[in-house]
Amino acid sequence: MSRNHRMRGKVKRDKQQRDARLRLPSKSTIWNQACDRADELIDQNLWSEARDVLETVDRLHPGADCIHVRLAVVYEELGESELLASVRSLYKSNPIVRDLVHRLIDLESQIEEGVHSSDEPDSRGGVLLQFEVYHEPNGSSHSPQVQEWAEAGFEALQNENGRKAEVLFKKCLEAEGDAPDLLNNLAAAYMFQGRDAESEQLAREIYDRWPDYFFGRIAMANLAMQEGRFDDADQYLRTMLTQQRFHITEFHAFVTAHIQLEIKRRRVKSAQNWLDLWKSVEPDHPNLSRLQKQIHALALADRFGSILKGLQR
């Protein structure tokens, strides 16, 4: 066999091995999947099964902070003191794990100051039992030219190009004068450029001039949340609870605002109720996964924060 032939064979084998490695899931994917599965088992009080999942992954792919924190919780629940001591030793020597535990403990203390999830009411208050979500475009009140600029501006917002969106929506306003939807999108263009003060001022002006404008009320609720005025945010949203028809864009904004409000209030059950409502309409929406992870993080801290404090001992 010639030297060139052997080299070609080696190159081919190396490529096959490299391709095989690329087809394997990354460590972070495996860790995240294991933690999600462990959380599901813990929610069902299947502590031993959760331990088996976590230990298997930690043995095959060691080094994951999320695995170690959950193992501490499981070992504490199962009374496995020697194993818990080993995790505590890791906690004391690993600043990353220590920081994660501190953040979970802080989250737990914030929950304790609010309404405990087992006692909280369903914030929907029995409304929104019958409603319709439609996707058809609403009739435009703008001229064809302004509508074309507005659609281009909205596309720029979706691409987070605030400067381009600002130029387009100002052209719309110069052509037709003030309109709440155009001004609302201009406020969003300011926000994407980091011009928060201008965005907030314009949002308040829109609400003062058009208090019944749907997205104006959503904007005011979001501002109230940012300022920690949760009861005020709830009041802005409450008037829309009896609405029976939502355009899909209205539904997204309305449900997202409620989920974020309940998360900020540390009301895990109510946040999950609103998320489940969204799932019933759009089970595959990409934002659901991100919001579900936030709710799971709150639930984990709510349930296990006192156990995690034991890591500091």
CA–CA distance, 136 with 115 (Å, rounded to integer): 39
CATH superfamily of 140-209: Tetratricopeptide repeat domain (1.25.40.10)
Interval 235-247: pLDDT, tens: 999 988 888 889 9
The conformation of residue 249, written as its DSSP 8-state character, comes to: H
Q: What fold is seen in the domain 23-118+308-312?
A: 1.25.40
- For the beta carbon of residue 283, count every other beta carbon within 10 angstroms: 8
CA angle 259, 261, 264 (to 5 degrees): 110
Element (H, E) at 245: strand 245-247
Q: What tokens does 32 get? A: 């995240």
- C-beta separation of 69 from 310 below 8 A: no
Does 9 have pLDDT greater than 60? no
> Tell me, what's the pLDDT at 117?
40
Mean pLDDT on 135-161: 89
Mean pLDDT over the full length of the chain: 79
Q: In the chain, which residues fall in CATH 1.25.40.10? A: 140-209
CA–CA distance, 135 with 260 (Å, rounded to integer): 24
Mean pLDDT on 120-135: 65
Sign of CA dihedral 159, 290, 305, 86: negative
Global pTM reads 0.63
Interval 76-97: pLDDT, tens: 788 877 776 666 665 555 555 5
